[in-house]
Structure 1
Amino acid sequence: MSSRRVLHVITSLDRGGTEGFLAGLAPKLRARGIEQEIAVMVDGGDHATTLRDAGFVVHELGMSRGVPDPRGLLRLARCVKAFNPDVVQGWLYHANLVAALVAAVSAPRAKLIWNIRSVEMDPADYGWSLRLVVKLGAWLSRWPGAVVFNSDAGREAHQKLGFSPEKLQVIQNGIDTQRFRPLPDKRDAMRASLGLGEHAIAAAVIARNDPAKDLPGTVAALDHAGGVTGVFVGTDTEKLDAGQHVVLGMRRDVPEILSACDMVVLGSKSEGFPNAVAEGMAAGLPAVATDVGDVSLIVDEYGRVVPAEDSMALSAAIAMMAQLTPGERAALGARARDHIERSFSMDVCVDRFAALYER
């Protein structure tokens, strides 16, 4: 058993892939004897409640998005001194820089670890401030003991951006296959609540409305596929011009929603390790996804992978999946779940983080 003390510093604890991953990882690490506290730059968020309910101390630093706040840094410095961590781990670009600054001043003997979850970003889609933060991260990347990515694609992209190659390593996400599993007893009621007809073919699209996710392109691909209804779940999806498709915004019952669907679809332009694809497969759905990040590794032979930013190729793959019989899709989905259980279990991921903290 470990006796390490880890302070996680994260930008926010709203509903999102990274935030949800940390909320799932922390209890597993605690079971290995690793004591943890969490500092969140922006107050609130569903996962802050989840972590507190699980017995973790969550420090809210009272910062605003995109606005540097020295008072938040002082609050974090006090947290660091009180907790006296062995490891300070940042999650995402802004939190990485904040963790580095405060750890250097308040816990110079603690090991600093950064965690980056993105791959490549189109500069035209994001403001100058984020581009500056990424450049600062590259310049300071020799400072942490390790910079952890959740995909090989992310590591390679950031090495090209100037991040110190000897510090970069990959720990792929672990999937909670107990939470994300087939739920056949929930299917009929959920389909009725979503307004899906008995014979409707539904594609789950679990993604926030962000340029990298290219949800408008996914809507177009579904429209061209014909006869397939997209079920969009994620932050700001309610702002989509989605026509006849089902748009739900942020929801807490994603496993139940997946049970109502027949495939999981990802049309992103950029990804690292997309949890939504792996979680959909763990729920017993075959996948149709664009070839970004580690998608090919995740989907393997248990779905269809098409070039990114090719709406017609995505549409054709969705249509091909829709043309399978229900039995054929179910068999492919069962094999997809088995693949996720064998290759991307949470236990393997936890082992690698625990070993990193011990080194």
Structure 2
Amino acid sequence: MSSRRVLHVITSLDRGGTEGFLAGLAPKLRARGVEQEIAVMVDGGDHATTLRDAGFVVHELGMSRGVPDPRGLLRLARCMKAFEPDVVQGWLYHANLVAALVKSVAAPSAKLIWNIRSVEMDPADYGWSLRLVVKLGAWLSRRPAAVVFNSDAGRQAHQNLGFAPDRLTVIQNGIDTQKFRPMPDARAAMRASLGLNDATVVAAVIARNDPAKDLPGTIAALDHAGGVTGVFVGTGTDTLDAGQHVTLGMRRDVPEILSACDMVVLGSKSEGFPNAVAEGMAAGLPAVATDVGDVPLIVGDCGRVVPAEDPMALSAAIAAIAQMSPGERAALGARARAHIEQSFSMDVCVDRFAALYEH
């Protein structure tokens, strides 16, 4: 049983994969005796509420995206001095740098751990400021005791960017299979609320509207597949030009939405460990996904994996699942859930983080 005190520093607590992962990880670590507080650079966010409701102290640093703010750094320094953490754990590029800078002054004896959840980025898709932050991260990557990735693809990509190889380690995401599970009793009501009849084949696309997710390519693939309706859930998806497909923006009832669907689809150009695919599979859905990050390990033989940035290949795979009988899809979905339960347990993930704090 650990008695470590960990201060998590994260860029925001809006709805997103990393933010949701931390919100799920923190209670599991607390059950192992790890005392934690969370400092968030940008105020607000649904997961800030979730964590507070679970009894965690969440410090809001009052910073703005893309705007350095010395007042936020001072607030973080005060948090560190008051909490006296054994470990300062940064989450995502900006928060990693902020955590390193402030820890060196306010908690010099604490262990520093960074978390990076992305793989490679296309420079054309992102601004110069983020590219600079990544370069600074590589330059300072010997400062942390460990830089944690959720996929081997992410580890390799960042080693190629100049991050110190001996600091890089992989802890794959754990999936909450109690939260994400088949909910057959919710299917009819959710379909009705989305304006979908029972005969429609529905594909869940759970992703924020970001260039790396290639949602326009996914829309094109769904259109070409014919007879399949996509349900897009995630920040900014309600602004998509998606034609006949359903665009919901950010929602809090993703497990229930998955119950109304027949497959989960990911059309990303790059990923590390895409939680959305694994969570959809845990909900009993076959997966169709592009060959990015650890997708082949996640999907296994429980769906289709196709090349990235190839809408026609993605479309053909979507059509292949759509043309199965409902019984065939259900059997493939049951196998998908069993695969996630066996291979991507949250308990193993929590064990590895707890061990990292100790050693």
Q: Could you tell me the TM-score, scaled by structure 1's length?
A: 1.00
Whether 2:79 is the aligned partner of 1:64: answer no
Q: Cα deviation per residue 1:207-258 (whole Å; 9 max; x = unaligned)?
A: 0000000000000000000000000000000111000000000000000000
Task: Give the whole-Å Cα distance in 2 for the aligned partners of 1:18 and 1:85.
Answer: 22
Identity %: 88
The AA in structure 1 aligned to 2:59 is H
Q: Cα deviation per residue 1:140-191 (whole Å; 9 max; x = unaligned)?
A: 0011000000000000000000000000000000000000000000000000
Task: Give the whole-Å Cα distance in 2 for the aligned partners of 1:322 and 1:54.
Answer: 40
Task: Give the whole-Å Cα distance in 2 for the aligned partners of 1:34 and 1:16.
Answer: 24
Task: Give the whole-Å Cα distance in 2 for the aligned partners of 1:189 and 1:69.
Answer: 47
Deviation at 1:310, TM superposition (A): 0.2
C-alpha RMSD of the superposition: 0.3
Task: Give the whole-Å Cα distance in 2 for the aligned partners of 1:198 and 1:105.
Answer: 60
Task: Give the whole-Å Cα distance in 2 for the aligned partners of 1:303 and 1:309.
Answer: 18
Deviation at 1:87, TM superposition (A): 0.1
SS in 2 for 1:235: coil
State how 1:31-70 maps to structure 2 within 5 Å. Answer: 31-70=31-70
Whether 2:157 is the aligned partner of 1:157: answer yes
Deviation at 1:205, TM superposition (A): 0.1
State how 1:145-294 maps to structure 2 within 5 Å. Answer: 145-294=145-294
Deviation at 1:98, TM superposition (A): 0.2
1:22 aligned partner: 22
Q: Cα deviation per residue 1:43-83 (whole Å; 9 max; x = unaligned)?
A: 00000000000000000000000000000000000000000
The AA in structure 2 aligned to 1:32 is R
> For structure 2, which runs of at least 5 residues remain unmatched after alignment?
none
Q: Across the two proteins, how many residue pairs are aligned to each other?
A: 359
Deviation at 1:266, TM superposition (A): 0.1
Task: Give the whole-Å Cα distance in 1 for the aligned partners of 2:175 and 2:21.
Answer: 9
Whether 2:26 is the aligned partner of 1:7: answer no
1:333 aligned partner: 333
Task: Give the whole-Å Cα distance in 1 for the aligned partners of 2:337 and 2:135.
Answer: 39
The AA in structure 2 aligned to 1:82 is A
Deviation at 1:135, TM superposition (A): 0.1
Deviation at 1:198, TM superposition (A): 1.9
Whether 2:317 is the aligned partner of 1:317: answer yes
The AA in structure 1 aligned to 2:211 is P
Task: Give the whole-Å Cα distance in 1 for the aligned partners of 2:211 and 2:244.
Answer: 22
State how 1:109-128 maps to structure 2 within 5 Å. Answer: 109-128=109-128
Task: Give the whole-Å Cα distance in 1 for the aligned partners of 2:197 and 2:312.
Answer: 26
Divergent runs of 4+, >3 A: none
Task: Give the whole-Å Cα distance in 1 for the aligned partners of 2:349 and 2:331.
Answer: 27
Task: Give the whole-Å Cα distance in 1 for the aligned partners of 2:197 and 2:226.
Answer: 15
Task: Give the whole-Å Cα distance in 2 for the aligned partners of 1:238 and 1:2.
Answer: 43
The AA in structure 2 aligned to 1:55 is G
The AA in structure 1 aligned to 2:95 is A
The AA in structure 2 aligned to 1:270 is S
Deviation at 1:197, TM superposition (A): 1.4
Task: Give the whole-Å Cα distance in 2 for the aligned partners of 1:40 and 1:198.
Answer: 42
Q: Could you tell me the TM-score, scaled by structure 2's length?
A: 1.00
Task: Give the whole-Å Cα distance in 1 for the aligned partners of 2:43 and 2:282.
Answer: 32
Q: Cα deviation per residue 1:184-207 (whole Å; 9 max; x = unaligned)?
A: 000000001111112000000000
Task: Give the whole-Å Cα distance in 1 for the aligned partners of 2:198 and 2:149.
Answer: 42
Task: Give the whole-Å Cα distance in 2 for the aligned partners of 1:196 and 1:107.
Answer: 54
SS in 2 for 1:205: strand
Deviation at 1:348, TM superposition (A): 0.5
The AA in structure 2 aligned to 1:179 is K
Task: Give the whole-Å Cα distance in 2 for the aligned partners of 1:63 and 1:197.
Answer: 45
> For structure 1, which runs of at least 5 residues remain unmatched after alignment?
none
1:349 aligned partner: 349
The AA in structure 1 aligned to 2:344 is F
Deviation at 1:4, TM superposition (A): 0.2
2:76 aligned partner: 76
